Structure 1
Amino acid sequence: MSSPSGPDQFTLPGSALSGLGERPFGVYVHVPFCATRCGYCDFNTYTAGELGSAASPASWLEGLRGELELAARVLGTPPAADTVFVGGGTPSLLGADGLADVLDAVRRSFGLADGAEVTTESNPESTSPEFFAGIRRAGYTRVSLGMQSSAPHVLRVLDRVHTPGRPVAAAKEARQAGFEHVNLDLIYGTPGERTDDLRASLEAVLSAGVDHVSAYALIVEDGTAMARKVRKGELPAPDDDVLAERYELIDATLATSGLRWYEVSNWAAETPGAVCAHNMGYWRGGDWWGAGPGAHSHVGGVRWWNVKHPARYAGLVAEGTLPVADREVLGEQDRYLERVMLELRLAEGLPLSALAGDGVEEAKTAAADGVLDAGAIAEGRAVLTDRGRLLADAVVRRLVI
């Protein structure tokens, strides 16, 4: 790793810029605003009450435009974005016009490649048929909706404020507005969630007719309201055995309905465009510029991240300075470890030729143990079995030690 480079000195080495545009290139935009704070969330988000007059969507948007202009200069001849992903936070709080402004800013500084995938996350409660029609006209091609669960008591534990039926209704509205690609997010393993609650959530997801589902095991993050409740004994910690059973239920239910896993926590229909190309760029080691407070970027083995507070972010950009908090240059071993860790999570797996040292022999042993697919090993790839997906982190450690 390199020594830090201050934001007033931020440049990228020629080695990072070499081949720029030959690799997939994405733009991630972080919207840090939320109406309320969910008890399990540790993302870089702020409610209006927390920010007061220190920052606003208007000052954030002005900062975003400025950061993207500065980014284009750093990259020299920036490639057109193959993918754009607007996340948060709650991007839908910006409204259709605000999200149109975000995409216009990306177009001005980078441009969009032909057929670019353009995604925005949305909270179902801040969407409507008019909202979806507006962002579709603006050029968005994909919507990701936070559902988490259809059970009211589970949503209460998560401090989610949407009504249980709203995510499915919002997904249907998005499809009616012309979105072929709609994702619903689930969280499983919440304290108090029963197996029947998860079954009901899955039935609701499938009734929405979406072509993509993301499902994440609840992780109790340090510093969150939920972590404090667990520490005090007010909530039980998620149980690993229960999480494994719930994952198997999710996978079996979605597979029966034609949604196949392509990454450990993601399932998609077997139709063109259903798989999230932006996230595939992350998992395959592509390049992306992350714009907005706290956003992370990666170009050619250099990774950096922005200052977190929206007021500080906007102030630095107003001074003509990229709002970079710090950066690191990934060494050869760092890049190797990340490649194995990320690509092994994919259904297509990792070429055995990418493994160093005793990695190939260890992969064969892992296949004998039932966590890697023996047929795939014979064809030169390391691919997780169903059991291996439950132990993915441990399999990675076996291959890189």
Structure 2
Amino acid sequence: MDAYAQAGVNRLSFGVQSLEPRVLAALGRTHNPENVLLAVTNARAAGIKRLNLDLIYGTPGESIDDWRATLEGVIALAPEHISAYALTVEPATPFGQRVASGEEGPDDDRQADAYLLAEGLLKAAGYNWYEISNWSLAGEECRHNLVYWLGGDFATVGCAAHGHSGGRRWWNVRTPERFIERVETGRDCISGSEEIEAGLRLEEAFSLRLRTRAGVTPSEAAESVVRDLIDGGLAKWVPSAAGAAGPRESEARRALVLTPQGRLVATDVTARLLLAGAAVR
């Protein structure tokens, strides 16, 4: 921690996932809740001023009370930023293989209840939602991730890293061994690349901004679909966000932003808007 701080690192992210030992065991994680407190304490002692704690909800066997205890425990540690992600099943992982063999997988309804609980507790504790799975104290949004979500350019550092510049996207070799070998032999670490055509760039930018509190502008959203979304409680018009402002936020004085219920079905909402001609006008 001291070495990081002395090198100028001012933000760390810890993969907490849960503060319930049996949930950690179900996830195959080897740390315990005491490690989390120790890590946060050491980071603060070293002078790291910005911390994010990552959580996972919806693990089979995790009760809503388990999840509440994790949220309350993490809030008590007072990080500047909290991320909460729904557990997903990746086929190639041990968990994915167990689910494929008949073991219980994540339940959509329980995950929805867990998400709404997180939104309520985090908001009450002063954490502002600004992207589907991310909340922060005022001014503590993750600038790194905002570059992705708002369509900026970013470089690659490390194995499997992705980069983007001016409509070109590229990615490095996936494994640490191959990455190290290429660095040591002075070879390029890029594994592949693609040029993103203009229409797809617009769709991607639209889809990513809709996931944030920047939202999308009136000129980008099909009016008939917007009416249905608002009537269904899935979206609302708000003043353009300042904390996570999109590139066109000065163009209109309001933005269409998903409600907590709308965030639960963000993929479907985005698809409806795109099919209606949003983002390509």
TM-score (norm 2): 0.88
**Contact 2:57/2:67 (<8 A) preserved:** yes
**Residue of structure 1 in register with 2:104 after alignment:** 236
Asked if structure 2 preserves the Cα contact closer than 8 Å seen for 1:168 and 1:204, the reply is no
State whether residues 18 and 24 of structure 2, in contact with CA within 8 Å, keep that contact through their aligned partners in structure 1.
yes
Alignment of 1:320-335 (within 5 A): 320-335=186-201
State the secondary structure of the residue aligned to 1:140.
coil
In structure 1, distance between residues paired with 2:15 and 2:190: 29
Aligned-partner residue type, residue 128 of structure 2: R
Instruction: Please give the alpha-carbon distance, in whole angstroms, between the structure 1 residues aligned to 2:258 and 2:133.
Output: 13
SS at match of 2:258: coil
Say whether 1:298 aligns with 2:151. Answer: no
CA distance in 1, matches of 2:253, 2:272: 20
Contact 2:18–2:70 (CA under 8 A) maintained in structure 1: yes
Over 3 Å counting, the alpha-carbon distance change for 1:319 and 1:172 in structure 2 is: closer
Q: Does 1:266 align with 2:119?
A: no
1:397 aligned to 2:271?
A: yes
| Residues 1-400 of structure 1 aligned to structure 2 (within 5 Å) | 132-233=1-102, 235-270=103-138, 272=139, 274-355=140-221, 359-375=222-238, 379-400=253-274
Structure 2: how far apart are the matches of 1:142 and 1:158? 26
The letter of the residue matching 2:230 is A
Residue 301 of structure 1 aligns with an amino acid whose one-letter code is: G
The Cα of 1:318 is off from its aligned counterpart by 4.1
The CA distance in 1 between the partners of 2:226 and 2:198, in whole Å, is 21
What is the deviation of 1:360? 4.0
- Report if the CA contact (8 A) 1:353-1:380 is conserved: no
Distance 2:200 2:30 in 1: 40
Determine if contact 1:259/1:268 at 8 Å carries over to the other structure: yes
Give secondary structure in 1 for the equivalent of 2:95.
helix
- Asked if the contact 2:160–2:172 (Cα under 8 Å) also holds between the matched residues in 1, the reply is yes
Measure, in 2, the Cα distance between the counterparts of 1:139 and 1:376: 36
- Mark the runs of 5 or more structure 2 residues left unpaired by the alignment: 241-251, 276-281
Change in 2 beyond 3 A, CA 1:375/1:139: closer
Q: What is the Cα deviation at residue 390 of structure 1?
A: 1.0
1:193-238 deviation line (CA, Å, top 9, x unaligned): 11111111112101111111000000011111001111112x3110
In 1: Cα distance, 2:195 partner to 2:227 partner: 32
In structure 1, runs of 5+ residues without a counterpart are 1-131
Given that 2:58 and 2:114 are in contact with CA atoms closer than 8 Å, whether structure 1 keeps it comes out as yes
Distance 1:133 1:313 in 2: 27
| Contact 2:17 2:54 (C-alpha < 8 Å) held by counterparts | yes
Contact 2:119 2:260 (8 Å CA) reproduced: no
Alignment TM-score, normalising by the size of structure 1: 0.63
Distance 1:142 1:367 in 2: 37
Correspondence for 2:278? none
Distance in structure 1 (CA, Å) of the matches to 2:6 and 2:238: 46
Structure with greater Cα Rg = 1
Residues in 1 aligned to 2:176 and 2:4: alpha-carbon distance in whole angstroms: 24
What is the percent sequence identity of the aligned residues? 40
Change (3 A) 1:139 1:374: closer
Number of residue pairs the alignment of both structures matches: 264
Cα distance, 1:158 vs structure 2: 0.7
- Give the CA deviation at 1:277: 0.4
Q: Deviations over 1:86-128 (max 9, x none)?
A: xxxxxxxxxxxxxxxxxxxxxxxxxxxxxxxxxxxxxxxxxxx
- How big is the shift at 1:138? 1.0
**1:258-315 Cα deviation digits (max 9, x unpaired):** 0111111001011x3x111000111001111112221111111100111213333333
Query: How many Å separate the matches in 2 of 1:163 and 1:141?
Result: 25
What CA deviation, in whole Å up to 9, does each residue of 1:145-177 have, x standing for no partner? 111001111111111111122212321321232
Secondary structure in 1 aligned to 2:235? coil
Deviations 1:325-378, CA, capped at 9 Å, x for gaps: 2111111121111111110111121223345xxx34422332222211045599
Alpha carbons 1:373, 1:382 under 8 Å: kept: yes
Distance in 1 of aligned mates of 2:132 and 2:146? 12
